[in-house]
Chains A and B, each alone.
Chain A
Amino acid sequence: MDLLTKLATIEAGLLVGGYFAVVAYKLVTGEISLAGLLHTKEPGGRAAFSPVRLQLLIFTVAVATLYLGEVIARPRQDSLPHLALGVVVALGVSQAVYLGGKVASAYVQPLLRNQR
């Protein structure tokens, strides 16, 4: 590896690592708020726990952990590791459920309430 490539790699590592470290630190200290991540706002303004958001969080963390684990286990590759089609489909379905929930609470619930 010549000097320029080595320096560029170190620079990228420092900057990317630094950005993520700052975001992680602010998440841990609460400067970037995670309040309400698993809650949805119900009619009347009350916050209620949302299972739809929980399933999306579980899918996201699981897929991210598996992927990162695969890269850590075998980093010497010509390309980023492939992701099974089933995983992509599962994540797509998970997102669709989340969006469906959003649509329902944004349009369907007010409509039903107005009809009563």
Chain B
Amino acid sequence: MSKIDWERWFRALLILFASAALVIGLAAVAVIYFTVRDAADAANAMARLKVVLSYEILILTFFYGLMVLLYMAGGEIDLSMLLSESKGTDAQGNPLYGASMSRFQLLIFTVVIALSLLMIIIANGATKFPAVPSEILVLLGISASTYAVGKGIQSSGTGSGGNGGGTAGGTSTSGGGSAATSSHPAPTPGPGK
């Protein structure tokens, strides 16, 4: 399917989901208002409002999340550079990109911690949010700091006078085989706005 088709398809989906969220939200308000009865406190309007708002937030969050998911899956949200960082330039001065170890590590840890959290919540019957030990925060902090410091080294190394570009502090980009064989050139921009 071409990019134009995807764009049309996603626009239609966007309108459909927004309309569905509104209709479902209003229906939820009506149904819950007229049907939900708190046995202990039937006349408590605030309790009912809380339930209605909870369902409404749940529905809206789901549709927004679903739209982001569909856009990611369809390529409207371009993920091709998710793990890439600048690796300097080739002989013609075109920027080169390669996968970044620190980005990859941050992705792995994020996935593992998020899945662990979800599994524990489900296993405990979603009764409460589990505590997060300080070592996990330290682990994520180390990982994120490495990414940030790596970025700093990369940009200051690139900007250092007369030494040319390059993540690894490349000097002159001239010379035999100047293009890093494992790096790839900057991709063309995705269809996203």
Q: Which residues of A contact B (CB under 8 A)?
A: 1, 4-9, 11-13, 15-16, 18-20, 22-23, 26, 31-47, 53, 56-57, 60-61, 63-64, 67-68, 71-72, 75-85, 88, 91-92, 95, 98-99, 102-103, 105-107, 109-110, 113
Asked if A44 meets B176 with Cβ closer than 8 Å, knowing A60-B109, A72-B119, A103-B153, the reply is: yes
Interface contact A44-B142, CB-CB below 8 Å: no
Q: Are A82 and B135 in contact (CB under 8 A)?
A: yes
Q: State whether A61 touches B108 (Cβ < 8 A).
A: yes
Decide: A68 and B109 in contact? CB cutoff 8 A: no
B126 CB contacts on chain A under 8 angstroms = 1, 5-6, 8-9
The residues of B with any CB-CB pair to A shorter than 8 Å are 51, 54-55, 58, 61-62, 65-66, 68-69, 72-73, 75, 79-80, 82-84, 87-88, 90-91, 97-102, 104-105, 107-109, 111-127, 130-133, 135-136, 138-139, 142-143, 145-146, 149-150, 153-154, 156-157, 160, 163, 166-173, 175-184
Instruction: Given contact pairs A47-B182, A67-B112, A98-B101, enumerate 9 new A-B contacts (beta carbons under 8 Å).
Output: A1-B126, A20-B114, A33-B98, A36-B183, A43-B171, A46-B180, A75-B122, A76-B123, A80-B132
Q: In the complex, how many angstroms separate the beta carbon of B135 from the nearest chain A beta carbon?
A: 4
| Smallest CB gap from A7: residue in B | B58
Contact of A91 among B139, B173, B177 (CB under 8 A): B139
Docked Cα-Cα span, A96 to B35, in Å, equals 60
How many whole Å from B171's CB to the nearest CB in chain A? 5
Given contacts A8-B58, A91-B142, contact A80 B183 (CB under 8 A): no
Complex contacts, B97 vs chain A, CB 8 Å: 33
Residues of chain B lying within 8 A (CB to CB) of residue A31 = 75, 79-80
Report the Cα distance A57→B182, complex, angstroms. Answer: 17
Nearest 10 Cβ contacts at the A-B interface? A36-B98, A106-B157, A45-B178, A106-B169, A79-B131, A75-B123, A36-B182, A37-B99, A47-B180, A105-B168
When the two chains form their complex, are residues A34 and B90 in contact, meaning their CB atoms are under 8 A apart? no
Tell me which residues across on chain A come within 8 A of B145, comparing CB atoms: 95
In the complex, are the beta carbons of B66 and A36 less than 8 A apart? no
